[in-house]
Amino acid sequence: MNEAALVQAVRSAQGGDERAFEALFRAHRDGIFSLAMHYLQDRDVAEDVTQDAFVRAWAQLPRLREPAAFGGWMRALTLNRVRDHFRRRRGEDPLDDDRPIASDDDGPDGLLEQDERRVAVREAILGLPEHQQVIVTMHYLEGQSVQQIMDAVGLPKGTVVSRLSRGRENLRRRLAPYIDAPGER
């Protein structure tokens, strides 16, 4: 969907056009699911989060001021749903699930450490301010360039670069315990 069609579809959907929203859903569904799946690592939960994000998008769409920013706005909604999922799961044993443990040369300790790091990175990104979270996710997890991010969220280059830089610095601080040299922990 090109930008002009996106803007028109968003405006139509804001006016209550369900077919226009369905077109937005089809155009963004796979990307939103991939984002949820990246954090959640569970297909069923990622599908639920994706559905919930689109349901909330439909309800909140009239408040979206910049139709061209729909993609970034959807990512932010999705990340909020992911954050809600992790908040609800706190207190659960992360090892008490049905996922098989992958084989690894590092053995059980190495696997636990890798899992711990993965969870820490996810939580660190989800702990960023929303405006940094979206930009960091798009750039580092989805591999989008600054130009692609600018186009998707409708922000000037300086703003995108600044949010990316601040987000990276916030992540560095949050992940400092995992960045220490081996043997220091």
> How does pLDDT run across 141-185, given as a tens digit for each residue?
777 889 888 877 778 899 999 999 999 999 888 888 777 545 444
Model pTM score = 0.60
Encode burial over 15-42: b for 16+ CB neighbours within 10 A, e otherwise: eeeeebbebbbeebeebbbebbbebbeb
CA distance 50 to 31: 10
Please report the DSSP string for 31-42 in residue order.
HHHHHHHHHH--
CA distance 119 to 125: 10
- Express each pLDDT in 57-74 by its tens digit: 999 999 888 888 898 889
Domains and CATH numbers, the chain: 1-99 (1.10.1740.10), 106-185 (1.10.10.10)
